[in-house]
Amino acid sequence: MKKVKLYWTPFALKCLDKIKEYIIQETYSEKTADTYISRLIDRVELLQDFPESGQREEFLKHLEQNSRYLIEGNYKIIYVYHSSKIVITDVFHVKQNPTKIIKRNRRK
């Protein structure tokens, strides 16, 4: 089985940077932050073999772009799946107001 190509939007990469900064601020440990970011990235890489493993994201259904999500720890990883590629569009803390996902993904 051929792996699906995986892409990160600049916005999603910026989200990872902010998550890392937050974890460093809270734990005073860059190692802890790096470990957590690695977990998020590893989780996303599993999508290359199982692109439909995420749940459909109901808050983005109106965009009709097949938005899905995975949960890793306290974060929701939003992605769009097409037959030839996966695009990670957002990484969102689950304690935030979920309607923010709509505003954040409207830009992409």
Q: How do residues 34-88 score in pLDDT, each as one tens digit?
A: 999 999 999 999 999 999 999 998 888 777 788 999 999 999 999 999 888 999 9
CATH of the domain at 22: 3.30.2310.20
The total domain count for the chain is: 1
Range of the domain at 52: 5-106
Specify the pTM: 0.85
| Beta pairing partners, 92 | 76
Q: What pLDDT does 108 receive?
A: 46
Cβ(36)–Cβ(72) below 8 Å: no
DSSP H helices in the chain: 10-27, 30-45, 100-106
Specify the pairing of strand 85-93 against strand 55-56: unpaired
Higher pLDDT, 5 or 61: 5
Q: 30-45 and 10-27 are packed helices; what angle lies between their axes, rounded to 10 degrees?
A: 150
CA neighbor of 67 nearest in space, from 75, 59, 56: 56
- Predicted local distance difference test score (pLDDT) of residue 1: 62
Q: Is the pLDDT of residue 24 over 70?
A: yes
